[in-house]
With several copies, the nearest count.
Chain A
Amino acid sequence: MSDKETKEQSEFDIGTALDSDAVLILDIDGFEGPLDVLLALARTQKVDLKQISILELVQQFLKFVADAKVQKLEKAADYLVMAAWLAYLKSRLLLPEENSEEEFSAEEMAARLTYQLQRLSAIRDSSARLMSRNQLRRDVFARGMPEPVIVTKNAVFELSLYDLLRVYADHKTRNAIADIRIHKRDVYTLDQALERLKGMIGLAVDWTDLYQFLPDSNMADNMKRSVKASLFTASLEMARSGKAEIVQKQAFGPLFIRKTDRKD
């Protein structure tokens, strides 16, 4: 923060420089913006801020801007904005006030600027007064070895054995449900039946009993049922797609199937 201090220092240097009407060598880095510069310039008028000459202030600021290095100012557009505004204010102040429809008269604008400068100046004085107060750990000190109130927190956790077991049992119950496995049943799938039927139907010369296509006979009963059902469904599927014909001569009688290879 030492550079801040030199900034503060430079403020006074500028003051004296302006006062002696010497050539201005200003560095905008030394300021915190146009208002800061304006305040520094206003103070050089060595009068109460209420009586500063706005016109003189404008001149000083425009000179400051003109003298400051161009590239530096380009980085700080607000200086140029302020310069433009002040130039406008200056022209308004110098020209006789027209019966203008402008919002504010030049005097009002000047008064506003004066107010802003006064306010900034006042808050700076206040901040200096605030910082010069006795500050804790700088000027006044609290007990160096505080004896803190030792709050012994006897955390009493409420939990009964019942609750513990209840939760465990609930967890187990939930888990048991999640653990139920539906065993994969042995089935002869439709896909298997279709494949078998397609493969074998070509081998058969003519109408063949569907049950001739049953795979090997050493099967569990429920598997046999599954195979029959799937073969039957597969035969219907083949008939539907025109790959086979099926015939049943009587109710519950044998189903005959043959390949449709005729070119209709």
Chain B
Amino acid sequence: METIEHTRIIEALLFASDKPLSSIALADCLPEEVKIESLLRNLQEHYEKRGVNLVEIAGKWMFQTAPDLAFLLRKEVEEDKRLSRAAVETLAIISYHQPVTRAEIEEIRGVSLSKGILDVLMEAVWVRPMGRRRTPGRPMTYGTTENFLVHFGLNSIKDLPGLSELKAAGFLANVNTSRLNLLGDDKPIEEQPELPGSAGE
């Protein structure tokens, strides 16, 4: 009878604890003569075939979901997300102008960049920080990732069509591309990227 009560106590303590408990810690809550180890073994046996198991890890005890049911706890949710037009435009500017600072993106777009946009692009793993520019304020520059290339089926960023190609493809109707010498800009000197892993360049 006593054994049942002691087992209940161990069960509750282990259930409610936010960390694995050693048998010494459990002993603190039980009468001295209680043979904790044997109670724990019995409890372990009781839970052996249930949805939850009692496991001993590094000399401590804890409840854990049965390993064969672990899949239940991992839910994959595929979410289709659409980018806002502002985000797509920003992505385009980053891809054509990289490495580019936030201020430059804002200048090119003519509007300030709301905070969420870069976050979304980084969440999509299309954009990454590329190190700081050696100019006053040392602004962070951004560029595209390898994932960006993979997603759009490009071998390198140079595979992005140039402006004249865009015009030829009918993207740029009625625009004199000779006045859009945006791709020929001299690139400012970048410091080494502070983050490892380079986008295909």
Asked if chains A and B come from one complex, the reply is: yes
Q: A residues touching B (Cβ–Cβ < 8 Å)? A: 1, 4, 7-8, 32-36, 38, 78, 85, 104, 108-109, 111-113, 116, 118-120, 122-127, 129-131, 133-161, 163-169, 171-173, 175-176, 178-179
Enumerate chain A residues within 8 angstroms of B70, measured Cβ to Cβ.
134, 138-140
Q: Does B83 contact A (CB under 8 A)?
A: yes
Interface of B is mostly: mixed
Cβ distance A33 to chain B, nearest Cβ, rounded Å: 3
Q: B residues touching A (Cβ–Cβ < 8 Å)? A: 12, 15-19, 62-67, 70, 72-86, 88-89, 91-93, 95-96, 108-111, 123-124, 126, 150-154, 160-163, 165-166, 169, 171-176, 179-182
* Residue among B77, B89, B151 making CB contact with A136, cutoff 8 Å: B151
Closest B-chain residue to A164, C-beta based? B92
From known contacts A35-B109, A152-B77, infer whether A169 and B182 are also in contact, taking CB-CB under 8 Å: no
Task: Evaluate contact between A119 and B171: CB separation under 8 angstroms.
Answer: yes
Cβ distance B10 to chain A, nearest Cβ, rounded Å: 14
Task: Evaluate contact between B77 and A32: CB separation under 8 angstroms.
Answer: no
Closest B-chain residue to A166, C-beta based? B171
When chains A and B are docked, how far (Å) is the Cα of A32 from the Cα of B181? 21
Enumerate chain A residues within 8 angstroms of B162, measured Cβ to Cβ.
125-126, 129
* Residue among A124, A149, A160 making CB contact with B74, cutoff 8 Å: A149
Enumerate chain A residues within 8 angstroms of B126, measured Cβ to Cβ.
157
Interface of A is mostly: helix
Task: Evaluate contact between A143 and B81: CB separation under 8 angstroms.
Answer: no
Interface centre among A36, A108, A126 (most CB of B within 10 A): A126
Closest B-chain residue to A151, C-beta based? B75
From known contacts A141-B65, A154-B77, A155-B123, infer whether A122 and B153 are also in contact, taking CB-CB under 8 Å: no
**25 A–B contact pairs at CB < 8 A?**
A123-B92, A127-B91, A130-B152, A133-B153, A133-B161, A135-B152, A136-B151, A136-B153, A137-B151, A138-B75, A139-B73, A141-B15, A144-B15, A144-B16, A146-B17, A156-B78, A156-B81, A157-B83, A158-B80, A158-B83, A163-B88, A164-B91, A164-B92, A165-B161, A168-B89
